Amino acid sequence: MTEPFIEFRGVSFAYNDRPILKDLSFRVERGQLVAIMGGSGSGKTTLLRLISGQVRPQQGQVLVDGRDLARMSHAELYEHRRRMGFLFQFGALFTDLTVGENVAFPLKEHTDLPPRLIDDLVTLKLNAVGLRGTEKLMPSELSGGMARRVALARAIALDPALMLYDEPFTGLDPISLGVIAHLIKKLNDALGTTAVMVTHDVHKSLDIVDYVFFVAQGKIIAEGTPAEVRASDSPWLRQFVDGAPEGPVHFAYPAPTSLAADLGLEAGHA
Ligand SMILES: Nc1ncnc2c1ncn2[C@@H]1O[C@H](COP(=O)(O)OP(=O)(O)OP(=O)(O)O)[C@@H](O)[C@H]1O
Chain segment 76-101, per-residue pLDDT in tens: 998 888 889 999 876 689 999 999 99
Query: Is the CB of 57 within 6 Å of ligand 1?
Result: no
Whole-angstrom Cα distance, residue 61 to residue 13?
Answer: 11
The overall average pLDDT reported for the chain is 89
On whether the CB atoms of residues 200 and 167 are closer than 8 A, the answer is yes
pLDDT of 249: 61
The residues spanned by each domain of the chain are 31-59+71-227
Is 118's pLDDT higher than 70? yes
Could you give the 3-state DSSP secondary structure of residue 169?
Answer: coil
pLDDT of 248: 66
Determine the distance separating the centroid of ligand 1 and the alpha carbon of 47, expressed in angstroms.
10
Residue nearest to atom 4 of ligand 1 (CA): 15
CB atoms within 10 A of CB 154: 27
Determine the distance separating the centroid of ligand 1 and the alpha carbon of 122, expressed in angstroms.
34
Torsion of CA 95, 96, 100, 101, to 10 degrees: -120
pLDDT of 268: 52
pLDDT of 226: 94
Q: Which residues have CB under 8 Å from 81's CB, separation 6+?
A: 52, 53
Query: Is the CB of 46 within 6 Å of ligand 1?
Result: yes
**Longest Cα separation, the chain:** 76
Complex ipTM value: 0.95
Looking at the DSSP assignment, which residues form a beta bridge with residue 182?
none
Whole-angstrom Cα distance, residue 29 to residue 84?
Answer: 16
Is 115's pLDDT higher than 60? yes
Residue nearest to atom 6 of ligand 1 (CA): 15
On whether the CB atoms of residues 183 and 165 are closer than 8 A, the answer is no
pLDDT of 234: 82
pLDDT of 95: 93
Atom of ligand 1 nearest to the CA of 42: 21
Q: What average pLDDT does this structure show over 23-42?
A: 93
CATH superfamily of 31-59+71-227: P-loop containing nucleotide triphosphate hydrolases (3.40.50.300)
Question: pLDDT over 70 for what percent of the chain?
Answer: 91
Determine the distance separating the centroid of ligand 1 and the alpha carbon of 46, expressed in angstroms.
6
Helices 174-191, 144-155: crossing angle, 10 deg rounding: 10
Residues 52-75: pLDDT tens digits? 999 999 999 999 999 999 999 999
Could you give the 3-state DSSP secondary structure of residue 113?
Answer: coil
Of the CA atoms within 13 Å of residue 142, those in its CB half-sphere come to 27
Atom of ligand 1 nearest to the CA of 49: 18
Residue of 24, 37, 44 to mutate, ligand 1, most atoms within 8 A of C-beta: 44
Q: What average pLDDT does this structure show over 164-183?
A: 90
pLDDT band at 241 (very low <50, low <70, confident <90, very high): confident
Determine the distance separating the centroid of ligand 1 and the alpha carbon of 69, expressed in angstroms.
21
- H/E stretch holding 208 reads helix 202-208
pLDDT band at 257 (very low <50, low <70, confident <90, very high): confident
Is 18's pLDDT higher than 50? yes
pLDDT of 51: 96
On whether the CB atoms of residues 164 and 196 are closer than 8 A, the answer is yes
pLDDT of 270: 47
- Cα-flanking dihedrals φ and ψ of residue 22, to 5°? -130, 110
Amino acid type, 216: A
Query: Is the CB of 44 within 6 Å of ligand 1?
Result: yes
Is 245's pLDDT higher than 80? no
Query: Is the CB of 226 within 6 Å of ligand 1?
Result: no
Whole-angstrom Cα distance, residue 138 to residue 200?
Answer: 30
Whole-angstrom Cα distance, residue 101 to residue 136?
Answer: 8
Determine the distance separating the centroid of ligand 1 and the alpha carbon of 253, expressed in angstroms.
10
